Amino acid sequence: MLTLEDIQREILALPPSLPPPGEAGGGENARMPDSPLQIISKQGRLILRMTAAIEALEARTQDLADEARRQRQQAEDAAEALRLSQQRGRQMALEAIHLMDALDWVSEAIAARGDEKLARSVVSAQRDCLRRLAAVGVSEIPAAQGTAMDGRLHEGLDSVPGEGGDAEVPQYHILSLMRRGYQSGPDVLRRAGVVTAA
């Protein structure tokens, strides 16, 4: 393939102008200058080679542009597939949270009846569900009694005077958990519902 450097060398090899008519070389060993037809022939060949080189460069540029468009489309398709996958994952996690809520309700109902054996079975099922959620990246938001409420992770459902046990609980600190909260990495799926000290 003809390169730009090859074309430049051929252009520099051409005489700057045609010799005046009837002018001869400078002695017996002097090279005979090219005739006008030879110069035009060289220029014509050079123009054809330059045209071919330009067409090859244009074709290569078009190929690269097409490849860039294909790669950009593939990246957009992959990003859309990832977004849809994350959206489906979030929806599945939210559905699992509803199941955990149902287990919490069942656990409370069984505890109120006083059936210890059944209560242990439900607690075991809750732990198993939490392990399975953790395996797919969903974890329970910590809401321990006495810790400060974090508005990003906790939702204050009620507030009462902070007299818990031996020590008074500071204002805006958690007294009890009313509803579990869950997160997937930094993404909060649902804030934990808590009662805070007033």
Q: Please tell me the CATH code under which domain 138-198 is placed.
A: 2.30.22.10
Q: What is the pLDDT of residue 18?
A: 58
Between residues 43 and 85, the one the model is more confident about? 85
Domain spans, the chain = 1-6+35-136, 138-198
Query: Could you read off the pLDDT of 108-133 as tens digits, one per residue?
Result: 888 888 888 888 898 899 999 999 99
- The CB-side HSE value for 71 (13 A sphere, CA atoms) comes to 6
Outline where 32-187 has alpha helix (H).
Answer: 36-113, 116-135
> Model confidence at 27, in pLDDT bands (50, 70, 90)?
very low
CB 179 within 8 A of CB 101: yes
Question: Would you state the pLDDT for residue 26?
Answer: 47
More confident residue, 6 or 80: 80
d(CA 191, CA 189): 7
Question: Residue written as tokens 């002695």?
Answer: 27
| Residue partners of 6: CB distance under 8 A and separation at least 6 | 49
What average pLDDT does the segment 74-102 reach? Answer: 92
